[in-house]
């Protein structure tokens, strides 16, 4: 009997994540993409890597310090993982540098220059000097470090210049210091419409103005990364908001886990820094390009070079969500799905705004995980509370890196009179659901919205997600129970139609996989998610494959399942879609289940299935099932944005071959944008056919 716990059947989650970020970085090398679009992917890559080091690498360091031996089904120890991560990133660093240099060289030919101060002509240097004395000199902070001036505190992701100085009158004694670059300053100094210089290039030129009487022997820009994970002992917290605020302050003081520094750094400066930072040498990364590529968004946003980006999509507001029709009538007339970002997020916002203004509305209940600043949904909820409507909002204060934003919203909602819940002890609430109750002719009517993504209109323009509107009685009943669970004491309460983690989603998925196994070669499973890590789910998929079930997995990021193993996973195909939009929807399809299609807020990871409050929603309407199934089929056919995972852990870009080029993002966008009226007619009658029809006609 095959031992499916064997470590050789599993890919390490951290190394799998690094390969995902490599696929993001690879977008920056695609010659057919506009140059600023390629620069954007470098920015995304760098931002992703910052978070990876702040959370995942920091966590592995803590496990190593605690002498933990194994941390996953692949059996790699924390130390082994740290070594592999460092090897991988140091190797990839060359590709990142080459990509940046290639893009910036080509941008010069287009008239957009990202250069050092010394590369400017005399006129621009004079303009830069004037900018320094007018805008930077009063704000940047020169810091001496000696026996009377202690090494300063550096916040997470602090950026500064380390300096090695000698006195003009006594050049035998070396002194060290630094210049802190405040986050309120731009990363790149813009000169006119066409020139950018890294801020450190300009500050370095004026070091001796900041340290009068001294000569700069050497200057090196550097950047530090700290452990940014917040651990909150909720059981010990009398006031959760207060302890979270304390946690956010502690994030600024976490242990140093990475140092990024200029490639030509003076060894004495490096020794000076690390005498205080004490960073493991292999976590020091040297670059001969500007540090903090995540700030390249500043340049990507230059409107004078908008022709070097992809024209932004304008999401369509499609029937049945016409502007002149009550959204409540629309939902009562039948269930509907929206496919974001191709379809507008406006109906979701309109639902909350309409309820807030409607005298018939009794109650609005919502879960909020990540919400944009200046959110119209939050504004509508505040208006509703001020209008006397019962507003209950579950604001997840533990949403990583959104804690501060959510804390502000929670206080604003409470001030308006809303009942705000901060979560359930020991769990993050990651479910996305809204319930609205109206009273009409002395009867209560319910309107439900369930989604795979957040209530965030900004990310809804770039994240691929599904919205589901319904007034189905079974969902109404379960949504009421769900909110009672959030606000009261209902530890063992279960939903009857929807599935809720941590107790129901995983068993339901395992049950449906096992049901499909009974059909052997006729079985078919399609799972679309951001990540696949859970060992029980992986083992169930292996068993399905071993009996002949065809399993297609569309996993954007981490995938710990190893496809293509002879006798184990030969019937499993794993692809990752990376392109213009961030694939974020979770859609699950089981060919022979009584209910074939589900959407969920949960990824296939232990944290989502066992340590979070998530929801999984059945989709029964045949029209909607057909539409979602076609999206899955279209992505499986994609041969332009798709990467296929092989048994050796390598992702191979799918080849177009001699057939038609299939870019799932472009097809969905083009079809809905250009022929959305006919698309609606097709969808209303029987659902689906949008992509098949498009491909056939083109």
Beta bridge pairs of residue 208: none
Q: What is the DSSP string of 333-402?
A: T--EEEEETTB-SHHHHHHHHHHHH-TTEEEEEEEESS--TT-HHHHHHHHHHHTT-EEEEEE-TTSTT-
**Cα–Cα distances in angstroms (integers) from residue 94 to residues 88, 99, 295, 643, in the given order:** 11, 9, 19, 22
Closest by CA to 512, choosing from 636, 618, 611, 614, is 618
**DSSP state for residue 559 in the 8-state scheme:** B
Question: H helices of 421-580, where?
Answer: 473-487, 505-517, 535-546
CA angle (139 as vertex; 273, 100 as ends), nearest 5: 60
| Rounded Cα distance, 523 and 508, in Å | 17
Query: Tokens 């496809």 label which residue?
Result: 563
Parallel/antiparallel/unpaired status of strands 195-198 and 188-191: antiparallel
| Rounded Cα distance, 381 and 376, in Å | 9
Parallel/antiparallel/unpaired status of strands 433-440 and 361-368: antiparallel
Cβ neighbours of residue 41 under 8 Å, at least 6 residues apart? 24, 25, 27, 28
Cβ neighbours of residue 337 under 8 Å, at least 6 residues apart? 466, 467, 468, 469, 619, 624, 627, 628
| Rounded Cα distance, 556 and 528, in Å | 8
**Is-contact 401 486, C-beta < 8 A?**
no
**Is-contact 611 539, C-beta < 8 A?**
no
| Rounded Cα distance, 352 and 468, in Å | 14
**Is-contact 451 339, C-beta < 8 A?**
no
Look up 206 and say whether it is catalytic.
no
Q: Which helix (H) or strand (E) holds 472?
A: none
List the catalytic residue out of 195, 206, 340, 430.
Answer: 430
| Rounded Cα distance, 544 and 551, in Å | 8
Backbone angles phi, psi at 365, to 5 degrees: -125, 135
Closest by CA to 433, choosing from 451, 459, 419, is 451
CA angle (83 as vertex; 80, 84 as ends), nearest 5: 85
**Cα–Cα distances in angstroms (integers) from residue 655 to residues 41, 539, 625, 661, in the given order:** 21, 30, 29, 9
Cβ neighbours of residue 591 under 8 Å, at least 6 residues apart? 516, 519, 522, 523, 524, 525
Q: Which helix (H) or strand (E) holds 273?
A: helix 267-277
**DSSP state for residue 53 in the 8-state scheme:** I
Show which residues are catalytic.
430
């Amino acid at each position: 009997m095959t031992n499916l716990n064997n470590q050789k059947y599993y890919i390490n989650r951290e190394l799998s994540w690094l390969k995902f970020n490599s696929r993001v970085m690879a977008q920056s090398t695609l010659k057919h993409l506009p140059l600023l679009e390629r620069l954007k992917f470098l920015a995304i890559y760098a931002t992703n890597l910052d978070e990876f080091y702040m959370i995942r690498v920091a966590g592995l360091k803590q496990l190593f310090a605690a002498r933990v031996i194994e941390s996953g089904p692949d059996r790699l120890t924390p130390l082994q993982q740290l070594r592999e991560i460092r090897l991988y990133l140091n190797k990839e660093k060359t590709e990142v540098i080459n990509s940046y240099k290639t893009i910036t060289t080509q941008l010069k030919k287009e008239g957009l220059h990202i250069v050092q101060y010394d590369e400017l002509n005399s006129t621009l240097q004079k303009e830069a000097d004037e900018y320094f004395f007018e805008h930077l000199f009063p704000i940047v902070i020169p810091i001496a470090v000696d026996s009377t001036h202690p090494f300063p505190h550096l916040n997470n992701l602090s950026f500064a210049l380390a300096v090695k100085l000698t006195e003009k009158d006594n050049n035998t004694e070396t002194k060290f210091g630094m210049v802190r670059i405040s986050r309120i300053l731009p990363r790149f100094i813009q000169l006119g419409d066409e020139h950018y210089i890294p801020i450190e290039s300009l500050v370095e030129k004026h070091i001796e103005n900041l340290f009068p009487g001294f000569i700069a022997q050497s200057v090196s820009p550097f950047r530090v990364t700290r452990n940014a994970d917040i651990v909150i002992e909720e059981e010990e917290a009398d006031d959760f908001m207060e302890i979270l605020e304390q946690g956010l302050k502690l994030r600024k003081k976490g242990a140093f886990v990475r140092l990024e520094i200029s490639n030509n750094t003076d060894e004495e400066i490096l020794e000076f820094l690390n005498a205080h930072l004490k960073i493991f040498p292999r976590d020091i990364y040297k670059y001969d390009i500007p540090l903090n590529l995540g700030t390249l968004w500043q340049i990507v946003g230059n409107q004078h070079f908008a022709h070097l980006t992809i024209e932004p999509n304008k999401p369509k507001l499609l029937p049945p969500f016409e502007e002149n029709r009550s959204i409540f009538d629309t939902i009562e007339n039948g269930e509907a799905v929206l496919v974001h970002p191709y379809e507008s997020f406006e109906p979701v916002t309109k639902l909350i705004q309409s309820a807030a203004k409607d005298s018939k509305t009794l109650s609005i209940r919502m879960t909020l995980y990540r919400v944009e600043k200046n959110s119209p949904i939050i504004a509508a909820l505040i208006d509703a509370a001020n209008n006397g409507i019962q507003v209950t909002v579950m604001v997840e204060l533990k949403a990583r890196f959104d804690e501060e934003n959510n804390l502000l919203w929670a206080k604003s909602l409470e001030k308006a009179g809303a009942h705000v819940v901060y979560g359930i002890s020991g769990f993050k609430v990651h479910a996305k659901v809204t319930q609205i109750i109206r009273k009409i002719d002395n009867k209560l009517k319910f309107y439900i919205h369930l989604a795979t993504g957040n209530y965030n209109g900004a990310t809804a323009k770039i994240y691929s997600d599904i919205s589901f509107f319904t007034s189905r009685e079974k969902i109404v009943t379960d949504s009421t129970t769900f909110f009672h669970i959030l606000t009261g004491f209902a530890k063992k309460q279960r939903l009857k139609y929807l599935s809720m983690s941590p107790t129901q989603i995983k068993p339901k998925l395992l049950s449906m996989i096992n049901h499909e196994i009974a059909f052997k070669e006729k079985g078919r499973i399609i799972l679309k998610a951001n990540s696949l890590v859970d060992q029980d789910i992986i083992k169930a998929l292996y068993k399905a494959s071993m009996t002949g079930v065809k399993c297609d997995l569309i996993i954007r990021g981490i995938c710990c399942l190893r496809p293509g193993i002879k006798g184990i996973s030969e019937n499993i195909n794993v692809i990752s879609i990376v392109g213009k939009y961030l694939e974020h929807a979770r859609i699950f399809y089981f060919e022979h289940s009584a209910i074939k299609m589900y959407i969920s807020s949960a990824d296939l990871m232990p944290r989502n299935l066992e340590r979070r409050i998530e929801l999984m929603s059945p989709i029964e309407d045949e029209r909607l099932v057909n539409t979602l199934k076609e999206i899955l089929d279209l992505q499986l056919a994609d041969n332009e944005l798709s990467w296929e995972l092989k048994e050796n852990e390598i992702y191979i870009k799918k080849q177009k071959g001699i057939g038609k080029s299939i870019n799932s993002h472009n097809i969905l966008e083009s079809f809905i944008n250009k022929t959305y009226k006919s698309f609606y007619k097709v969808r209303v009658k029987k659902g689906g056919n949008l992509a098949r029809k498009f491909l056939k006609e083109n």
